[in-house]
């Protein structure tokens, strides 16, 4: 398994941990992601312009696709670096859609249960609060058994 240098406060650190559990438990394929083997690392999962891999992700956008490299935690588009806040802003809707599907399937407290059951590594634990703000900051998104209003992330810089 590849080792990644991850930033503890990046919400995508926790999101990738959850996506890995979703893949192992079959939720990605159940949701409709197409699983394709790759020559390096894990399989690639693709649905509606979002392509996930253990090394990162790609989101199809008008013009150039957005790439996120998990190892370096950098976003690029058309070969140019994209600021993390802008990259995360582009991803929010796609990740919100996935988290809404997961919450509808398993219940609003499901992610909390995964954390309690699997006790994630320290970098993931350090990224949980930023992840909660990132995902929970979208209207109507149930996270950790509550619905967090959009205003909860105002001024926090957690995009």
- Tens digits of residue pLDDT in 96-138: 999 999 999 999 999 999 999 999 999 999 999 999 999 885 5
Cβ atoms of 11 and 133 within 8 Å: the answer is yes
Q: Nearest CA to 69 among 83, 55, 89?
A: 55
- pTM of structure: 0.81
């Amino acid at each position: 398994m590849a080792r990644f240098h991850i930033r503890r406060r990046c919400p995508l650190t926790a999101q990738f941990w959850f996506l890995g559990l979703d893949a192992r438990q079959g939720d990605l394929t159940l949701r409709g992601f197409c699983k394709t083997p790759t020559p390096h690392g894990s399989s690639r999962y693709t649905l509606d312009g979002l392509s996930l891999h253990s090394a990162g992700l790609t989101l199809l956008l008008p013009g150039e696709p957005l790439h996120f490299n998990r190892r370096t935690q950098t976003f690029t588009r058309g070969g140019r670096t994209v600021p993390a806040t802008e990259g995360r802003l582009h991803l929010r809707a796609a990740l919100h859609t996935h988290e809404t599907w997961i919450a509808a399937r398993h219940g609003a407290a499901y992610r909390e249960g995964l954390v309690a059951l699997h006790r994630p590594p320290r970098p993931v634990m350090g990224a949980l609060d930023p992840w909660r703000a990132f995902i929970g900051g979208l209207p109507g998104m149930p996270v950790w058994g509550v619905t967090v209003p959009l205003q909860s992330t105002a001024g926090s810089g957690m995009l």
